[in-house]
Structures are given as C-alpha cells and as structure tokens.
Structure 1
Amino acid sequence: MSGWQVADVVAVREETTTARTIRLRLPASVRFLAGQHVDVRLTAPDGYQAVRSYSVSGSAPPDGLEITVEELPDGEVSPYLVRDLAVGDQLELRGPVGGWFVWRPEDASPVQLIAGGSGVVPLMAMVRAHEAAAHPAPFRLLYSVRSPEAVFYRDELAQLVERSETFEVTYVYTRKAPDGEPAGRLDKGTLARHVLDGGADPAVFICGATGFVEAVSGWLLDLGHAPDRIKTERYGGIGGAS
C-alpha cells in the first residue's frame, strides 16, 4: 500500500484501561509482514495535521488490519485514538512500512521475543503469524510489564500457550505481581533463565523503551548470542507512539 488511504474503523477492543486495539478495513486488500508498522494521519478542522506510527498487531481478513495503541497523557494523537475514536469513523493510513524488524514464516529458526510494555505490539503480530502458519519452530515470548492489569492480549496469549506445543510466554512484573510471585525489573539473571540459549542460534526480536532495549541487547551478547541475530525496535515507530 503506497500513499495515503482512508480506512474504516470496524471494531475497537479494550486491552487495558489505557490501551485499545483498533480494527481497520481498507479499500484494497493489504498484505503486511509481522513487525511492520503503519503511519496514521489526523487532520484538525483548521488544517493542522499530526502523523504518528503504530505497529500492526495483526491481520483482519479479508481486507484489513489491526493496530494497538497505548494512550500517552501528553500525546497529540493517542488520547483521541484510545478515548474518542468510534466504529464508523475513518482514519488516513499509509503503509505498511519496514522490512528489517520483521518475521517471515519461511525462516525455520527458533525465535525469542522480548517485550517491554507496549513493545509487545509488533511481537504479537509475529506470534499470530507463527500460529497461523502452524510453524514448527519454538517461539518464546519474555514479556516485561508493570502489572497483570497492564498486560496486552492476556486471554489470547493464554489460549495460544494452552493449545500450542511450540509457543511459551514468561511474564516479568516490574511493579505488581500476582499473589505468590515476586515483582522487580528484568535483570540479566532472569533473562538468562527464560530465553532460548544462544547455542540454539535463535532469531531474537526486542521491542520496548530505549533503556530496556539497550540493556537486554547487552545481556544477550554477554550470554553468547550472536550480534547479527538480534534485531531491535525502540518506542517511536510502534504502539507506544504519541
């Protein structure tokens, strides 16, 4: 899809108290790779325009896609998308964009996904693509999040784990954990216990805030993961944009 197109909002779904998934229908069939994003443009009555990028979180057959947006209190665009946008409204979209931070079903490698907060959005597209392809390679998601209430896609992830022989999820709760579980930031020791070993040569995708991504990348290198097998995406071109 090149240039701007008008997409219809056909469904919205609350993920948390500050995030929602928006299902969009496009005038022409759109194909995307898991990990890509789209640009969203809003135009005010006075002509002022704001453009933000949001990761595609999944497909919406036959002619659409979904994005998941987390509200930023000082954002120009995200509060409208999370609080005011309604079914029947329209958005201007451009994309999908990006060809490096993507997962393709033809890649037979095991995959390690590591998410910080809303950085799970493009990784969820990869999880869904893995499931849709009935891919035999191991897929693991390590998801660092503030609390159980802040988890995106909680029910769907639980269902995927239950029915899959190759997909696993581990949560690290940084502020509030379920009863009986510790809370605390992700550290190198926890990472080492819950990611695929570097000897398995997994493809690694990390998405989150800059500090999170840099710390995790460094720990993985210390643990023997090859630099060219680690791909990163920082807040900005993902679901955490403003």
Structure 2
Amino acid sequence: MARTAIPGGLSARRAWRSATLADRRPETAQAVTLVLDVPDWPGHVPGQHVDVRLTSEDGYRATRSYSVAAPTDGDALELTVQRVPDGEVSTFLCDDLRRGDTVEVRGPLGGWFVWRPGQPGPVLLVAGGSGVVPLMSMLRARPAGSASPFRLVYSARSPEDLLYREELARRAAENDGVEVGLVFTRSAPEGDRRGVGRLRPEDLTGHGWSVDDAPTCYVCGPTGFVESAAAHLVALGHPPERIRTERFGPSGP
C-alpha cells in the first residue's frame, strides 16, 4: 500500500509558527481542549503531535510536546492539555491562556504512530489516561460507514477523569463500527461489574479484537501502562510488528 506523505515539507514542519487561541473547551476538572488558529498550517495525520513553546517577558523559554486531538482541516489546530502537578507549561495552558493570546507551535511531528483514513483492516486503540488524545484523533478521522472497524479500550482513574466522555458515548451508541470499552483503576461507576484495577489481558480480549482478526494495535499512555499493555497483546498472540506504541505523561491512570 502506498504511504501518504506526512503533511508539510521538512523545513515547514521544523519552523515555529504563531498560534492564536480561538476557543477553549473544558474536558475534565484537570484538562482542557485548546483550539488554535495557525496561519498556513500544513495539516496533519491522526496520531501526530506538535511542540508548543512559551516565552516569558524576560526571554525564558519552555517547550512541551502535545498530541493533536482532532483531524482539523484548514488553519485550526486542536490540542487537549491535561494539567500536570507543578507543570509550568500545562498549568499556564490550562489556567492562564486566554482567547486572543498567542503561543508558538512547531510540527506536525511523528510518522510512525499514525493512522491514515483508508488504511485497511480493523483497528484496536488502547489508551491510558491522557494517552487517549492521539487515539481520539484517529477515531475522529474515521469516515462514517468506513470498512475499518475501531475498538477503543480506555483506562482511566475514574469516570470523572474520562476525556471526551460524551462524544465517546455518542459514537459507541451510533453503532457505526466503533466500540468503546472502559476500564477504571481507582473508582468505578455504581454497577460496574469489572470493578477497579489496572488493565488486564481479559480487558483486551473482552473489548478488543482476537488475534485472528489481525488488527493494527495502537497503544498510548504513560510508560508503565504502555509496556504492560503491549506485553499483554504480545502474550495474547498479536504480532509485535502490528503493535505501535507511544509513551508520554508523568503518571499512570
């Protein structure tokens, strides 16, 4: 299968661009989605990320990487940022950035952990905490009626920590080839039969695809979560070459 080129030439992706905050949407008590206007944004492939740079009045600079949350055309870019305790960049973005304020962005970056619309076969998305962000970009890029069915297994600390809760419930209810399985590690909703606990192999077999379905697997979250989930998939018989992983975040769900 021919591979679609990553948007933007190398020099364009390395260039810093001014991005203006156009809107912000609260996702949880600790996370917000930022909608940025970026003139001449080259576009991106679901699963990619960008660098965000802040510069203070005294010239101090801080840079962090954030996954793109939605496959937006044109000059808009959506990032979902979760506040990190004592995090200077995430705290500023979540609490202090206001409409009309500007930051700098660079990208899109990354060419391995991506899903391209039209890519054949079923897809298994395994998310730990804020690792759901790039996977949500993939899910949102999936066209209605696509022949590639998606299954998302999403591990979060509690129902209150779920990102995109209402959208995920709606997509699952539409019965258009998207299924969502939720795993809670610290507190679960009343009536949840599974109970709390970290991701287990049976979560992947119960909510995911069998080895015979030959899905492409995308696993994203904190390092410990990703290593454990990938090990479960390999132990269940999924070929390592069909498992793509992305690690980030300071703590597990």
TM-score tier after normalising by the smaller chain length: over 0.9
Where 1:77 maps in the other structure, the secondary structure is helix
**For residues 81 and 65 of structure 1, what CA distance do their matches in structure 2 show?**
14
Task: Compute the TM-score of the two structures, normalised by the length of structure 1.
Answer: 0.94
1:217 aligns with 2:230: yes
Report how far residue 59 of structure 1 moved. Answer: 3.4
Report how far residue 195 of structure 1 moved. Answer: 1.3
Report how far residue 133 of structure 1 moved. Answer: 5.8
Task: Compute the TM-score of the two structures, normalised by the length of structure 2.
Answer: 0.90
Which residue is equivalent to 1:78?
A: 90
Give 2:35's match in structure 1, choosing from 7, 23, 35. 23
Report how far residue 29 of structure 1 moved. Answer: 3.9
Which residue is equivalent to 1:184?
A: 197
**For residues 104 and 129 of structure 1, what CA distance do their matches in structure 2 show?**
8
Alignment of 1:188-207 (within 5 A): 188-207=201-220
Q: Is the 8 A contact 1:42 1:49 kept in 2?
A: yes
Give 1:157's match in structure 2, choosing from 148, 158, 168. 168
Where 2:91 maps in the other structure, the secondary structure is helix
Q: Is the 8 A contact 1:23 1:60 kept in 2?
A: no
Which residue is equivalent to 1:228?
A: 241
Q: Determine which structure has greater relative contact order: mean sequence separation of CA pairs < 8 Å that are 6+ residues apart, divided by chain length.
A: 1
Which residue is equivalent to 2:126?
A: 114
Report how far residue 78 of structure 1 moved. Answer: 0.3
**Cα offsets for 1:106-146 (capped at 9, x unmatched):** 2111000000000000000000001x464221100000000
Aligned residues: 237
Identity among equivalent positions (%) equals: 50
Q: Is the 8 A contact 1:57 1:124 kept in 2?
A: yes
Report how far residue 17 of structure 1 moved. Answer: 0.5
**For residues 75 and 243 of structure 2, what CA distance do their matches in structure 1 show?**
32
**For residues 196 and 28 of structure 2, what CA distance do their matches in structure 1 show?**
20
Q: Is the 8 A contact 1:30 1:64 kept in 2?
A: no
**What is the aligned-residue RMSD (CA, Å)?**
1.5
Give 2:185's match in structure 1, choosing from 168, 171, 174. 174
Counterpart residue type for residue 29 of structure 2: T
Which structure 2 segments of 5+ residues have no match? 1-11
